[in-house]
Structure formats: C-alpha cells, structure tokens
Amino acid sequence: MEDGFNTVSIIGVGLIGGSLALALKGRNLVNKIIGFGRNKERLKRACELGIIDSYTDSLKEVCEAELIVIATPLGVFEEITSEMAPYLKKGTVVTDVGSVKEAVVNKLEKIMPQGVYFVGTHPIAGSDRAGFEHAREDLFEGSRVIITPTENTNKSAVEKIAKLWTKTGASVEFMSPAEHDRIYALVSHLPHLVSFCLVNTVSEMDKNFIKYSGSGFKDTTRIARSSSEVWADIFMMNEKNILHCLEIFLKKIDEIKKMLSEREIEKIKKFIEEANQLRQKID
C-alpha cells in the first residue's frame, strides 16, 4: 500500500495494540493485521471482533509483516525482540508503544539486525482499563504521541511512523528517550505510584472507610485500577527518574506538613493557590 502497510503485526493485542489495529483498519492504512499474544483464546476472540485478521503463536510468522508493533508490558520486550531477531527481514520497521523509552530504545536498537529499523514511540492515550474489549478506533484522536529517535534511528522509518500516528488523529512530538523518561516519570509514573499508595493507606487504616469516599477520592485513585503487570515493569524500568521525582514530592509533603504543624494558614493558602494555578493550565 502506498499510504499504509500491506501487513502489520501487533504483539500484545490489548487496549493500545487493539486500538491501533482498529485505527489502522478504519482509515484503510493496512490490508492485514496479524495478532500475537500469549493467550490463544483471547486472540481468537479479538479476531472474531474484527480487531485483528489472523493470529499466530509463531514469532517467525509475525516477522512476515512490514511493520511490527510491540504492545506488551515492558518486561518482555527484550525477550520477544531477541526471539524475533533471526527472522526479521531487511527494511522491516519495528516500533513499540511502551511508557518508558531510554532502557527500551537502548536495548532494542542493539538487538535489531542490520537493515531493520527500530523507532520508539509512546502514545499518551489509554486508561486504567486493560484489554482489547476497551479498544476504540478513535482512542488516539486528539492525543499526543511521543516519538523518541536517537542518532541511530533511520530517518525514513521515523517519518513512516510519524505519518502513521498522525493519520490516527494524534499529534506527534519528538524528543530524546532520556527526556521522555524524565517528563513521564513526573506527569505519569509518580501520580500512579502515589495513587497506589493512597489506596493502600486506606487498606492499612480501615478498608471499610473506602465506602465513604466521594468523587474526589474516586478521581484521585482511578489510575490505582491500572494493571500491576504493566506498572511494575514501568516502575522498574524508569526507577531512577521516578525516585528523583518522589524526592521532590516528599519535599512538598514535608513543606505542607510543616505549615500544618506550625498552623501557618496563609502559607497553606499560598501552597494551594500555586497548585490551583498550574492545574488550571490543563483544564
């Protein structure tokens, strides 16, 4: 296809993989989508729902595609890519949709055989709801997709990937893998960690109290429903940046704790107003 792909393989047909499949199909950007995953029954179901056209348990078969999208939890990226390596054909583009980029890009670039092009991406979409049952053709419309090329990344492969995401309705932005990881440690990984800790604070104090929560608690902890498998990997792979953000967060907690203990109401108001103002920028 001139303006798309003949065959695309999606490894990990979940919310993001499934939504990308639907977006590509809906825009006639692909003739055939092959799904790969660990659960045959679920792949069959995704096939029945028309999200993918066929499925396989052979990574060799996956490599028949011109574009391979890795959309599994981060922890298995290396293993999958290493297994694929012998079958990857020259000119194939491999991309991923993982939430951490530096470790991923470093490792996967090294595994790629000569003439196979890896491009790291991170679509800022999705939700705490996992699984292709929640996949939506319009998931990426109006969203942001970060593409993280390095000095080793093939420029025409980057262009192809950027074009693909633009066609799904996303706006594409480029940055280095390291910058991506610094930013998303702060605006995504830290809030997830904090959200898990908020719920587990209730868990330790009195589980029954949770029934008294209102919309504030519900919103603040919505992302605490996120997959343990996906998020344990993210935490592990962006540990250094997350720990740094956590330090600053703990400093902020200390600041307001001190204001409270010293009954500095005007300082507390100022602290809250600072949060008000910055938060309003993303309304």
Which residues in 59-78 contact a second copy (CB under 8 A)?
75
State how far the alpha carbon of 223 is from the alpha carbons of 1, 131, 139, 213, 232, in Å: 39, 15, 17, 16, 14
117 beta partners: 93
The smaller minimum CB distance to a second copy, of residues 49 and 187, is found at 187
Contact between 140 and a second copy by CB under 8 A: the answer reads: no
Contact between 1 and a second copy by CB under 8 A: the answer reads: no
27-66 binders of a second copy (CB under 8 A): none
At 257, phi and psi to the nearest 5?
Answer: -60, -45
Which of 106, 143, 150, 154 is in the footprint of a second copy by CB under 8 A?
Answer: 143
Cα 67 from Cα 89, distance rounded (Å) = 11
Strands (DSSP E) contained in 97-252 are 117-124, 144-147, 171-174
What's the full length of the chain, in residues?
283
159-188 binders of a second copy (CB under 8 A): 183-184, 186-188
3 state SS of 98 = coil
CB of 12 to a second copy, least distance (A): 18
CB of 132 to a second copy, least distance (A): 19
The smaller minimum CB distance to a second copy, of residues 167 and 267, is found at 267
Closest CA to 8 of 25, 30, 41: 30
At 122, phi and psi to the nearest 5?
Answer: -145, 100
Site string for a second copy, 209-238 (x = CB under 8 A): xxxxxxxxxxxxxxxxxxxxx-xxx-xx--
At 28, phi and psi to the nearest 5?
Answer: 55, 45
Query: Do 84 and 90 touch, CB atoms closer than 8 A?
Result: no
The smaller minimum CB distance to a second copy, of residues 118 and 235, is found at 235
The smaller minimum CB distance to a second copy, of residues 163 and 258, is found at 258
Contact between 260 and a second copy by CB under 8 A: the answer reads: yes
CB of 120 to a second copy, least distance (A): 16
Size, binding site for a second copy by CB under 8 A:
90
The smaller minimum CB distance to a second copy, of residues 49 and 260, is found at 260
Cα 210 from Cα 280, distance rounded (Å) = 28
75-134 binders of a second copy (CB under 8 A): 75, 124-128
